[in-house]
Amino acid sequence: MSKTLFDKVWDTHVVRKIEGGPDVLFIDRHLIHEVTSPVAFLGLKSRGIKVLYPERTFATADHNTPTINQHLPVADPLSANQLKALESNSNEYGISHWGLGHQKNGIVHVVGPEYGITQPGATIVCGDSHTSTHGAFGAIAFGIGTSEVEMVLSTQCIMQPKPKKMRINVNGKLGIGVTPKDVALFIISQLSTSGATGYFVEYAGDVFENMTMEGRMTVCNLSIEMGARGGMIAPDETTIEYVKGREFSPKGEAWEKALAYYRTLKTDPDAVFDRELTFDGSSIEPMITYGTNPGMGMGISHEIPDAEHAEGGATTYAKSLDYMGFSEGDSMIGKKVDFVFVGSCTNGRIEDFRAFTSIVKGRRKADDVTVWLVPGSHIVEAQIKEEGLLDILNEAGFTLRQPGCSACLAMNDDKIPAGKYAVSTSNRNFEGRQGPGSRTMLASPLVAAAAAVTGVVTDPRSLMENRNEVLV
């Protein structure tokens, strides 16, 4: 019987099938951070249960970490307590722990791939919704709740109903200034925030085949923003080249065996999906959101659509626009910007900073814009310095912060003030997501860079004329 990529990975990890119920799925890699794990560990302690396979769990601090002065004690008591709990729980149960100050510390969905913890054909879970990032490697990766974190710690398994299967094909040549972030925001705008609910998505077509691993991670990261359980891309030579030689990747004979397995991870030609969609990549332009969910996005040259063309109904739509201070028919170009944030598990990798720097080179930061540039890991931070990007950024009036989730969500000091507008490369623009009363416009690093040097929403293509940037 022909199988999809998703079927091949899922079916080989099913420990037990429950008639009329969920599958019991074995989990290869369990990633934890300081926010969703403390209560799970309390559950273990209350029942006197040990962690079954501590070597399969990896802990890193990210959500609550400050992005300046990381050598100082964390001032916020709640954050400090959660960070301490992660450290003490990891030590007690023999779990690898990369806490604040550790050289390997960083955003969980950035450091996992960097160190080879993420591998093709694996099952990966984390108490974090954007675990779907790891699907870029042909893994089944999804977020879980705190009770499920406890379940995985104690049994290395999880009970899950098998999702339906969707394939999204994007073919054609992307235009200048169009990045993987734009491809993802475009797809979400077409499907809405609920259009993939109940599905696991496979991305296919030459647009994804031509993406780097960083770009694929960005796309898979955003899968859940259209309601999907996760997203994945079949591994290929690009994937294999990325994984090979990393610290936790297989070595020697084990690598050869793993490689043979990786090459089987592709959808059979006659496999059937429950739903299949196809888009023309050449029709996508730089995107920006105008409302309060990731589905309320459009090409940056367009005008905010009328309520009759929007999801959620007229009342909800009007409420969203009122929160943002926008109106139907408005152009986004020229809208004032107060903050720019580049970072998060969506766009905190080296290619994101290369793209940002390509725009700001030879220009100056707008005086009235606060810009937070936050690498996703110490590896990314080092690359920014080694490649000379930091020199360019400093010359243009920017500073680099230290790794962490930062302004993606209001769980640390990097909060957007109430009423202020932020162009953000993160993943969610819900009301208050980046701070109470904050107003978020999701966009790519190129759009963020254009806003950072002009002080207003700007089409990055207007700043790329007569330049030869190669963007992926």
Domain range holding 157? 5-161
**Phi, psi angle pair for 317, to nearest 5°:** -65, -45
In a domain, 19, yes or no: yes
Cα 83 to Cα 29: distance, rounded to the nearest angstrom: 21
Amino acid 465: pLDDT: 65
Amino acid 471: pLDDT: 44
In a domain, 247, yes or no: no
Residue 347 in 3-state DSSP? helix
> Position 417: which residue type?
P
Amino acid 1: pLDDT: 84
Counted domains in the chain: 3
User: Are 151 and 134 in the same domain?
Assistant: yes
Amino acid 190: pLDDT: 97
Answer with the one of 132, 161, 190 that is the final residue of a domain. Answer: 161
User: Are 124 and 182 in the same domain?
Assistant: no
In a domain, 469, yes or no: no
Answer with the one of 118, 134, 161 that is the final residue of a domain. Answer: 161
User: Are 413 and 341 in the same domain?
Assistant: yes
Cα 60 to Cα 100: distance, rounded to the nearest angstrom: 8
Q: How far, rounded to the nearest angstrom, does the alpha carbon of residue 345 sit from its chain's CA centroid?
A: 4
User: Are 323 and 203 in the same domain?
Assistant: no
Amino acid 435: pLDDT: 97
Amino acid 313: pLDDT: 83
In a domain, 241, yes or no: no
Answer with the one of 283, 308, 338 that is the final residue of a domain. Answer: 283
User: Are 177 and 145 in the same domain?
Assistant: no
What is the SS3 assignment for 193-220? CCCCCCEEEEEECHHHHCCCHHHHHHHH
User: Are 15 and 154 in the same domain?
Assistant: yes
In a domain, 447, yes or no: yes
User: Are 276 and 303 in the same domain?
Assistant: no
Burial 304-337 (b: 16+ CB within 10 A, else e): beeeeebbbeeeebeebbeebebebeeebbebeb
User: Are 318 and 393 in the same domain?
Assistant: yes
- Report the CATH number that the domain containing residue 177 is assigned in CATH: 3.40.1060.10
pLDDT tens, the chain, 472 aa long? 899 999 999 999 999 999 989 999 999 999 999 999 999 999 999 999 999 999 999 999 999 999 999 999 999 999 999 999 999 999 999 999 999 999 999 999 999 999 999 999 999 999 999 999 999 999 999 999 999 999 999 999 999 999 999 999 999 999 999 999 999 999 999 999 999 999 999 999 999 999 999 999 999 999 999 999 999 999 999 999 999 999 999 999 999 999 999 999 999 999 999 999 999 999 999 999 999 999 999 999 999 999 887 767 899 999 999 999 999 999 999 999 999 999 999 999 999 999 999 999 999 999 999 999 999 999 999 999 999 999 999 999 999 999 999 999 999 999 999 999 999 999 999 999 999 999 999 999 999 999 999 999 999 999 996 444 444 3
User: Are 398 and 342 in the same domain?
Assistant: yes
Output the CA torsion sign for 33, 35, 40, 42: positive
User: Are 314 and 202 in the same domain?
Assistant: no
In a domain, 18, yes or no: yes
Cα 124 to Cα 26: distance, rounded to the nearest angstrom: 9
In a domain, 242, yes or no: no
User: Are 186 and 129 in the same domain?
Assistant: no
- Report the CATH number that the domain containing residue 331 is assigned in CATH: 3.30.499.10
Amino acid 308: pLDDT: 82
In a domain, 191, yes or no: yes
Helix residue ranges per DSSP H, 222-279 = 237-243, 253-262
User: Are 91 and 211 in the same domain?
Assistant: no
